[in-house]
Chain A
Amino acid sequence: MDRKRTTPPPPNPNPSSPALLVTRAAASPSKAHMLAFHFLRALSRIHRVTPVRRRTRTIRRAAYSSMARAAGPRRAWSRALLGQARSRRARTLARRAVLVRRRVLTAAAPSSPAARGGGRFIAAGGETSAAAASRAALPPRQAGEPPRADALRRLVPGGDAMEYCSLLEETADYLRSLRAQVQLMQGLVDLFSCQ
Chain B
Amino acid sequence: MSSRRSRSRQSGSSRITDEQISDLVSKLQDLLPEARLRSNDRMPSSRVLQETCDYIRNLHREVDDLSERLSELLATSDMSSAQAAIIRSLLM
Asked if A and B are interacting partners, one says yes
By beta carbon, the residue of chain A nearest B33 is: A179
Q: What are the interface flags for B10-32 relative to A under an 8 Å C-beta threshold, 1 for contact and 0 otherwise?
A: 11000010001100110110010
Counting contact residues on chain A (CB < 8 A from B), the size range is 35 or more
Q: Tell me if A59 counts as interface (CB < 8 A to partner B).
A: yes
Question: Contacts A19-B89, A142-B10, A169-B24 given: A55-B74 contact, CB under 8 Å?
Answer: yes
Tell me the chain A residues, 132-151 only, with Cβ under 8 Å from chain B: 141-144, 146-149, 151
A residues in contact with B67, CB < 8 Å: 56-57, 59-60, 63, 185
> Is B37 part of the contact surface with A, judged by Cβ < 8 Å?
no
List chain B residues, Cβ under 8 A from A21. Answer: 86, 89
Let me know if A143 and B7 touch, CB within 8 A.
yes
Q: Are A175 and B4 in contact (CB under 8 A)?
A: no
Q: Which residues of B contact A55 (CB under 8 A)?
A: 71, 74-75
Residue contact B53 to A155, C-beta cutoff 8 Å: yes
CB pair B28 A172 closer than 8 Å: yes
Given contacts A33-B90, A36-B90, A192-B70, contact A185 B63 (CB under 8 A): yes
> What are the residues of chain A within 8 A of B59 when measuring CB–CB?
118, 175, 178-179, 182
CA distance A157 to B40 in the complex (A): 29
Q: Could you tell me if B78 and A144 are in contact, using CB atoms closer than 8 angstroms? A: no
Contact A117 B21 (CB under 8 A): no
Across the interface, A117 reaches (CB within 8 A) one of B52, B60, B77, B89, namely B60
A residues less than 8 Å from B31 (CB atoms): 172, 175-176, 179
Residues on the A chain within 8 Å of B66, using CB: 63, 182, 185-186, 189
* List of A residues within 8 angstroms of B74 by Cβ: 43, 46-47, 55, 192
- Contact string against A for B residues 21-64, beta-carbon threshold 8 Å, 1 for contact and 0 otherwise: 10011011001000000000000011001101101110111111
Contacts from B to A (Cβ < 8 Å): 1, 3-4, 7, 10-11, 16, 20-21, 24-25, 27-28, 31, 45-46, 49-50, 52-53, 55-57, 59-64, 66-71, 73-75, 77-79, 81-82, 85-86, 88-90, 92
The 7 closest A-B pairs by CB, nearest first: A118-B60, A55-B71, A168-B24, A148-B49, A185-B66, A60-B67, A18-B89
Given contacts A117-B60, A149-B49, A151-B49, 9 further A-B contacts (CB under 8 A): A60-B64, A144-B4, A144-B7, A155-B53, A155-B60, A168-B27, A178-B60, A182-B62, A185-B70
